[in-house]
Amino acid sequence: MNAQWIERSLSGLLLASWLVTASTASAQTTLTMWSFLDPAKDTPRERVLRGLIEEYEKKHPGVKIRVEPQVWSQIANKFTIAASSGRAPDIAWVNYPSLVLPLSAGIAADLKATAFGKWDQKEWDDYVTTAPFDAVTQDGKILAAPIMLLSNTLIYRKDLFEASGVTPTDVGTWDGLLASAKKMTKSTGGNTTWGLGIPLSRDGASQPLLAVAMAELQPKLFDAKCVPDVSTEAGIKALSMAANLVKEGAVSKESLVQTSDDSQELFIGGRQAITVAGTSRVASIQQKAVFDKSQVGVLPWPSWTQGKTGPYILDGWTAVVWKGSPNVAQAADFVSYMVGAEASAKWTVEGGQVPFRKSVLKLPALASPELAWMKAVAEGWGTNATFLPPQCNVGAFYGDLNLAVQKVVRGDATAAAALAEVVEEGRNRAQ
């Protein structure tokens, strides 16, 4: 009897132990995240992501983050389709121009109703600009969180400025940019070093200088139906300025067929004093330059008014939480951690991303001469930043603007006629 009782008791204890273990295992939460980064790889940004996941999992023993790397250009579309069949990941990285897909489909969770609603004012005040959140807030709901920000900027050679007696202040206006670039354009032994390089190819067009010049005069470049609204006095003024950069010899006529990569290679090879490039390219340009990399600097965008800074048209990557996820609160908490002050410092110092938090700008690491350009860009964002509407075909619009510059430079159309064609092309796409 005694032996049987002991045997039954032991069996009961083993069963109870198994049930507790099974219950603990079932309590494990796995968050699936789609990203263009693969934490199993070893690039700077991928190392940062891996580290953030490891740290979060240590702080939350019951949570595992599973990253499923995706082709960056396909994430938004796949995420939206997967949500319609109830199979979306908990979190998806979506770039700003593609946010129209998940936001229009209504599949994004309100981050303000979860983790972001717990942020105090100090957290919000740490951002150099609220533009990244303003762009993703609808009816008071925050539908995405900015992870990385990008923009185009002007990169210049300090030594060529000094040799020509030009200062950064001299290029603070569009008229000043034209005059200074003409002054720095010099030919020696049959080779010309151009004062300014701007890519004006229609194919694969990146954000053109013309869009920046327009956006300051006329912040809304599209109407409510995504038709370009640029056949205006402001548009004509900006297009005439951009065309004059080429017509008056500050920019090579070869730029009419050059892509961003073409233009940047010329700068790297010492053939330009100033070039237009994305902030994601600055470090690479420094490393590849055939001249002293310490001579590479970043300028604020010129303005139509002396003493002001032209607008930085922002782009970048956001995290969207699927509102159909059974783990919305936990997913939002991880996103909050991934974009928090501590993580933001790592994205900058270890991952090479331009900071957009004031606390990161104050870090000792940002005081190094090599990273001075990051501070300059971040300060520019804090001064004047904007987004073009992600629901509109901005990429095609950029190509149309470059084509308009080509037509005016070649004498094929007036500025007014060229912009009328930009509007018509945009209207046809919007239908």
Q: Which residue has the tokens 């690039």?
A: 43
Query: Among candidates 223, 239, 228, which has minimal Cα distance to 426?
Result: 228
Query: Among candidates 268, 294, 297, 325, which has minimal Cα distance to 102?
Result: 325
How would you class 254 by CB atoms within 10 Å of its CB: exposed for 0-12, middle for 13-18, buried for 19 or more?
middle
> What pLDDT is recorded for position 5?
46
Give the pLDDT mean for 60-79: 96
| In the predicted structure, residue 12 carries a pLDDT above the cut 60 | no
Which residues contact residue 68 at a Cβ distance below 8 angstroms, ignoring those fewer than 6 apart? Answer: 32, 33, 34, 89
Give the pLDDT mean for 205-220: 92
Neighbouring-strand partners of residue 34: 68, 92
Segment holding 18, helix H or strand E: helix 2-26
Give the pLDDT mean for 378-392: 90
How would you class 261 by CB atoms within 10 Å of its CB: exposed for 0-12, middle for 13-18, buried for 19 or more?
middle
> What pLDDT is recorded for position 4?
53
- What are 281-290's contacts with CB under 8 Å, separation 24+? 282/153, 282/155, 282/373, 282/377, 283/352, 285/155, 286/370
Please state which CATH class domain 10-143+315-384 belongs to.
Answer: alpha beta
| In the predicted structure, residue 360 carries a pLDDT above the cut 50 | yes
Place 8 in a pLDDT band, splitting at 50, 70 and 90.
low
| In the predicted structure, residue 385 carries a pLDDT above the cut 90 | yes
Q: Which tokens go with 219? A: 């912040």
Give the pLDDT mean for 94-116: 93
Average pLDDT of the chain to the nearest whole number = 92
> What pLDDT is recorded for position 205?
64
| In the predicted structure, residue 182 carries a pLDDT above the cut 60 | yes
Give the pLDDT mean for 278-300: 92
User: Do the beta carbons of residue 244 and residue 215 sit within 8 Å?
Assistant: no
Give the pLDDT mean for 325-335: 98
| In the predicted structure, residue 1 carries a pLDDT above the cut 80 | no
| In the predicted structure, residue 425 carries a pLDDT above the cut 90 | yes
410 or 20, higher pLDDT = 410
Domains 10-143+315-384 and 152-313+387-430 share a fold: yes
Q: Which range is least confidently modeled, 70-74, 158-162, 226-230, 388-392? A: 388-392
> What pLDDT is recorded for position 152?
94
CATH architecture assigned to 152-313+387-430: 3-Layer(aba) Sandwich (3.40)
Give the pLDDT mean for 274-301: 93
User: Do the beta carbons of residue 383 and residue 300 sit within 8 Å?
Assistant: yes
> What pLDDT is recorded for position 97?
82
| In the predicted structure, residue 17 carries a pLDDT above the cut 50 | no
* pLDDT more than 90, % of the chain: 81
Taken in order 57, 58, 60, 63, the sign of the CA dihedral is positive
Integer Cα distance of 41 and 66 in angstroms: 14
> What pLDDT is recorded for position 394?
87
Give the pLDDT mean for 209-233: 96
Give SS3 for 30: strand
Ranges of each domain in the chain: 10-143+315-384, 152-313+387-430
Neighbouring-strand partners of residue 146: 318
Q: What are phi and psi of 285, to 5 degrees?
A: -65, -40
Give the pLDDT mean for 114-127: 96
